Amino acid sequence: MAGDAGGAPAVVLREECVPDRPMPEDPVAHVAVLVSLNFPDMTEHTAELVTRFTRVALETLVDLGASYELFDTSEPLPDPAAVTGCDGLLLLGGGDIDGRIYGLGDGGRVPNQYGVDIRADRDGLAAIEAALGDQLPVLGICRGAQLVNVAYGGTIIPDIDDFALHRGGPGDPMFLDEEILVEPGSRVAELLGAERIVARSGHHQAVDVVGAGLVITARAHDGIVESFEDPTRWLVGVQWHPEDDDGPAEDRRRLFAGFVAACAEGRVPA
């Protein structure tokens, strides 16, 4: 999620993102959920999206029998490695990654830059590194997937020139339905049970060079990377937003169910 502009400053409150249902008493897994609920340039519209998407993601985890711990990188994390106290790491969307993080020159600034917070980027990368070192399952969504790619040494397209497939234009809704072509035999194809899906997208950046060891598993019709995985472990990054409840609920459930099952499989009994 990126590229919104204009409007008054807004604030997302943690309590507004919490589902109106209790976490399971005996969860199948306990998931670390990392997101910046607030970031620079946030508008009322973006705040509504962050609130809704975060709530849907947490609701989906609970409905699948998992509990969660929310790590909000709006403020510095006292210990990003604390995510390893959970059974898996889910990284949600948000603002742009600072270009300096992936080696961009000219101070890291890019066209249509939005919501940049290099401290939050560094906290997110530290959490990813800790999760990878502890062999936790990882699911990254939009910004979260891009951070995972950077953690693997990959780069980001700073601003997609022809964005029509990926987000609305000026005066149009940011999010739109996008057809995505999934690689046969990939983990994403297995999870979704399809090689062609329609998903919700709203982004002006995307994965460029994939990190070492990652494999591209889905593309848009213009070739933009839409998902990747690490074939040596349970790690999936998707550029679209399965947690947008304007999109297909079954695709969201299947993707999150695969992640929760991997978290449950590796769980260390208390």
- Round to whole Å and give the CA distance between 109 and 107: 6
* Distances 38 to 9, 15, 75, 207 between C-alpha atoms, Å: 10, 13, 9, 23
* Distances 87 to 63, 170, 269 between C-alpha atoms, Å: 17, 41, 10
15 catalytically annotated: no
Identify the active-site residue in 178, 226, 229, 243: 243
30 catalytically annotated: no
- Round to whole Å and give the CA distance between 133 and 97: 22
142 catalytically annotated: yes
Strand 225-229 vs strand 215-220: parallel, antiparallel, or unpaired? antiparallel
Closest CA to 255 of 192, 193, 196, 185: 192
String of DSSP letters for 87-106: SEEEE---SPPPGGGGT-SG
Closest CA to 53 of 268, 243, 262: 243
Q: Residues 6 or more apart from 222 whose CB is under 8 A from it?
A: 162, 165
DSSP 143: H
Identify the active-site residue in 30, 142, 178, 229: 142
Q: CB neighbours (10 Å) of residue 1?
A: 26
Active-site positions?
142, 241, 243
